[in-house]
Chains A and B, each alone.
Chain A
Amino acid sequence: MDFHEKLVQNLVFKHGKDRENLLPILQGVIDQERYLSEEVILKISKEMSIPAADVYGTASFYSFLDIEPRGKFVIRVCKTITCAMKGKNQIIQSIENFLKIKVGETTIDKKFTILQTNCLGWCHKAPAMLINDEIYTELTPESVVDILREYKEEN
């Protein structure tokens, strides 16, 4: 049994085969893999007896259930009003310069992906971003580089 099959089977075993468990299962894969591959969606579809197109369609509805390959660390910079007002563009520029990729892209070492996202709920501490599930607020073009440097050094 390959790694993906085991991952899906464990998740389905943990949560159950009923449709209402689909989101937790998809989230479980994201935790491990950062994205939902065709292979994984197919396995979930088979295990849960939900048409594969339906699983795909459901996953694609949710911004955090990525269906394209992502890096180990997914950076989501908030682009909604307050963060936009408080310099989100400079933050993105700083990240892009540091990682040498553009928004939507993944570094060659598959370590980082830069994305934008809608309101993260930290408008009083804008600008904000998520790296995977960790929140970072009151960012400056300098502080964001410090944060990323730590991630870069981590293995």
Chain B
Amino acid sequence: MSNMVNLTINGIAVSVEEDKTILEAAKELHIKIPTLCYHKDLCVAGNCRVCVVEQVGNHKLVASCATPVSEGMEINTNTLKVRNCRKHIIELLLTEHREECTKCYRNGHCELQELSAEYQITNQDFIDLVPDKNYTIDMLSPAIEKDDSKCIRCQRCVRTCAEIQSVGAIAVAHKGSEMKISTFFDRSLDEVVCTNCGQCIVHCPTGALTEKSYVEKVWDAIADPEAHVVVQTAPAVRVGLGEELGLGSGTRVTEKMVSALRRLGFDSVLDTNFTADLTIMEEGTELLTRLKRALVEDDPDVALPMATSCSPGWVKYIEHKYPEYLPNLSTCKSPQQMFGALAKTYYAKNIKVAPENIVSVSIMPCTAKKFEANRPEMKDSGYKDVDFVLTTRELAVMIRQAGIEFEKLNDESFDSIMGIGSGAGVIFGATGGVMEAALRTAYEIVTGREVPFDNLEITPVRGLEGVKEATVKIEGTVKEWDFLEGVELKCAVTNGLENAHQLMEAIKRGDKFYHFIEIMACPGGCLGGGGQPFPVDNEIRLKRMEAIYAEDRDLPIRKSHENPEIIQIYKEFLEKPLSHKSHKLLHTSYVKREQY
């Protein structure tokens, strides 16, 4: 344990560890200091300066986020001098900021707006700088919009893109009054290395980075009498939506969400968990097939480790940064896209609706899914497989617009078919979930017995750590899979692309060997996705994670291969995993992309 340091803040004595900042010490005393550029997930920048405080003996104010505590320090956070300076700084930020709060996408969710209200910035004496700025709005990406006129240059997005995601699609460019957040030669986000993960959105304090909204398009579809609007909801949405509608972090709202979706007017309310289970069947079989090729047929061309392909942010990342590893990527589409392809084939046939009349909507914790749905290859049903993707936040917008009192809704369950998911499906929403779900099924297929973990909970792959590893020894195989007898299946799980980068580098160097790796682009997995509610930090991610695992525990079916609808779809439609039809509808291919 580090040494303790004594200081006073506003006259109150406090003793904190020596590596703490003034801001953190104040938090312990429940004294709030406003911040903008500070974010718990990120390294300290100290550039917005709204967190300045007075330090007795120092004629300058100090940035509390960036100043470490020291013995005997006397801090005042609420003096006239401090308040006046903060007010000035907020006013200055507002002069560079296109003030159109009532028309802003982030209206009501903007940290600058909140601060401006808190400090009662009611008159603007300084000169509006916006008219002379050459601000641009980049709307070309199907996932993310970047509006420079809303940017306060706090660099949270830049730090997120570099530190958490190791992508570096955006950087600070130019200096002085021209300083801005820019891509490579200021190209559109659509043309650069951006993975559309949306972590920049989640970390942006204002409306400078937002998702591209498809709410109006979905309302149009719902209003169209010809259209049969099918909606699917990803596992992580049910543990995030409540937050956006005023409930505590990690509140499970699955049944209320279903009921809300019906009230919004969706014709079929279905569950992505179903195709998560289907993914396990396909991907698990693909893994076993690769292992067979490697171990039995000695095929030198088989690419191991096999990497999951559920996370479209990760998929685009590997396309840009590790194209030589594209053969390692599972050919399985993500659950969203499997669902899309089936909605306009299997489901359409089942409910006897012409596929061209089906509008397929998905609710995702993700912004990269918007890009994924727009990939040209995602038309295997003969139509655009998924028409519109909404984030958790956008769904909350629709619920509010519809005047639904969410908390008061009755519990309802998903429609069928394609409405049943197992516990294995739901844990797709947390980092390690795909791995755990795959092991639950693959181990049982190969050995005829359940995975040797208490209550099926493969704890080594759970949690927020950067890289989690698990080795599962396969023993007592059934005859068909006896070539795997005694094999130690080496797995790794990672979340956040910086961790993925580290893992890939370790594999590339040959330091590590695995059979199977699960990679999710966002910290914590989908529950920490770019389409989830603000704000987010690890505390909140853990609450959502607990909710995901509770959801799994409470479900009657917890293994994908036991999902009756999965058994049914193979019987009636797909025949078997990796069948010809599966290949056509459920599998895909990837492309090498540029590195800027």
Residues of A within 8 A of B (CB): 38, 41-42, 45-46, 50-54, 56-58, 60-61, 67
Contacts and interface: CB of A to CB of B under 8 A. Distances in A.
Identify whether the interface residues of A are mostly helix, strand, loop, or mixed: helix
B172 to A, nearest CB: 5
Interface of B: 162, 167-175, 182-185, 192-193, 595-596
Given A51-B168, A53-B182, 13 more contacts: A42-B595, A45-B595, A50-B168, A51-B167, A53-B173, A53-B193, A54-B168, A56-B184, A57-B174, A60-B175, A61-B173, A61-B175, A67-B185
Nearest to B166: A51
A53 B161 CA distance: 11
A56 B173 contact: yes
16 contacts: A41-B184, A42-B596, A51-B167, A52-B184, A52-B192, A52-B193, A53-B168, A53-B169, A53-B173, A53-B182, A53-B193, A56-B173, A57-B172, A58-B171, A60-B175, A67-B185
A57 B596 CA distance: 12
Contacts of A50: 168
Nearest to B192: A53
B171 A45 contact: no
Given A45-B595, A51-B162, A61-B174, A56 B185 contact: yes
A88 to B, nearest CB: 20
Contact of B170 (A41, A46, A53, A58): A53
A67 to B, nearest CB: 7
Given A45-B596, A56-B185, A51 B175 contact: no
Contact of B193 (A38, A41, A51, A56): A51
Contacts of B162: 51, 54
A67 B595 CA distance: 19
- Name, among A45, A51, A58, the residue most crowded by chain B CB atoms within 10 Å (CB to CB): A51
Contacts of B182: 53, 56-57, 60
User: 10 tightest CB-CB pairs across the interface, nearest first?
Assistant: A51-B168, A57-B171, A52-B596, A53-B171, A57-B173, A52-B184, A60-B173, A54-B171, A53-B184, A60-B174
Nearest to A51: B168
Contacts of A61: 173-175
Contacts of B170: 53
A56 B595 CA distance: 13
B512 to A, nearest CB: 20
Contacts of A60: 173-175, 182
Contacts of A41: 184-185
A51 B174 CA distance: 16
B148 to A, nearest CB: 14
A10 to B, nearest CB: 21
- Name, among A42, A50, A52, A58, the residue most crowded by chain B CB atoms within 10 Å (CB to CB): A52
A46 B595 contact: yes
- Name, among A38, A53, A54, A57, the residue most crowded by chain B CB atoms within 10 Å (CB to CB): A53
Nearest to B186: A56
Nearest to A42: B596
